[in-house]
Copies of this chain bind each other. A is one copy, B any other.
Amino acid sequence: MPADRTPRARPVARVPLSRDRVLRAGLALADEHGLEWLSMRKLGQALGVEAMSLYHHVTNRDDLVDGMIDLVFAEIEFPLDGEWQAAMRARAVSVRAVLGRHRWANGLMESRSTPGPANLRHHDDVIGCLRRAGFPVALVAHAYSLLDSYTYGFAMSDRALPFESPEQVAELAQAILARFPVDEYPHLAELTFEHVLKPGYDYGKEFAFGLDLLLDGLRRAGATT
């Protein structure tokens, strides 16, 4: 330590940056403000660092996002033992919950061309579970495609809604239908007023219906168990 007595205050030995710290800070900010809001400068600021310093831990913004996505994958829970239908249901529910926490991640989970280790691990586990349950390879491909498409697709619709409170849903629906003559869309209006805006309705509950239908169909399609 030269410069001992200089007023050159370097008092706080600040926590050094690391890829992990960068990714986690990015995750937190994206959760709070959205992925689009997140810029290298803002991320740097949150870490008490200039933007360019981040590039020593992350090769560019895309790489940052790749890393964040893999953190999201790591949050997905998948029970490795037990019956396949229960496992698949638990997985789907977990994916939905995780994507609820990280709404920005939604379109990006399957479209990364450089999947991270957690991503691959997860896929391998799921495929393994189905194989162990006696699914032939071709059916595994079918099942995987079906379940993933549904789960991600549902999460996508889900994300559109503010979904915090029923009042907000009602407000949004009203706002949309108010911009157009209601009688041009009678069926849409019926569904909205007679069903969606009724007290007990919660779009999230649709998820279980579809999921059960899928699992039942898959079972029928040929699991040996």
Binding site for B on A (CB under 8 A): 106-107, 110-115, 117, 120-121, 123-125, 127-128, 131, 137-138, 140-142, 145-146, 148-154, 156-157, 159-160, 172, 176, 179-180, 184-188, 190-191, 194-196, 203, 206-207, 209-210, 213-214, 216-218, 221
Contacts and interface: CB of A to CB of B under 8 A. Distances in A.
20 contacts: A110-B160, A112-B160, A114-B179, A120-B180, A121-B184, A121-B185, A123-B188, A124-B186, A124-B188, A127-B188, A127-B191, A137-B194, A142-B206, A146-B209, A148-B157, A149-B154, A151-B153, A156-B156, A213-B217, A214-B217
B113 A160 contact: yes
Given A188-B120, A210-B142, A149 B150 contact: yes
A60 to B, nearest CB: 14
A142 B52 CA distance: 49
B145 A149 contact: no
A141 B217 contact: no
B156 A124 contact: no
Nearest to A191: B127
Given A185-B120, A213-B214, A221-B213, A157 B141 contact: no
Contacts of A194: 137
A121 B176 CA distance: 13
B145 A203 contact: yes
Nearest to A175: B113
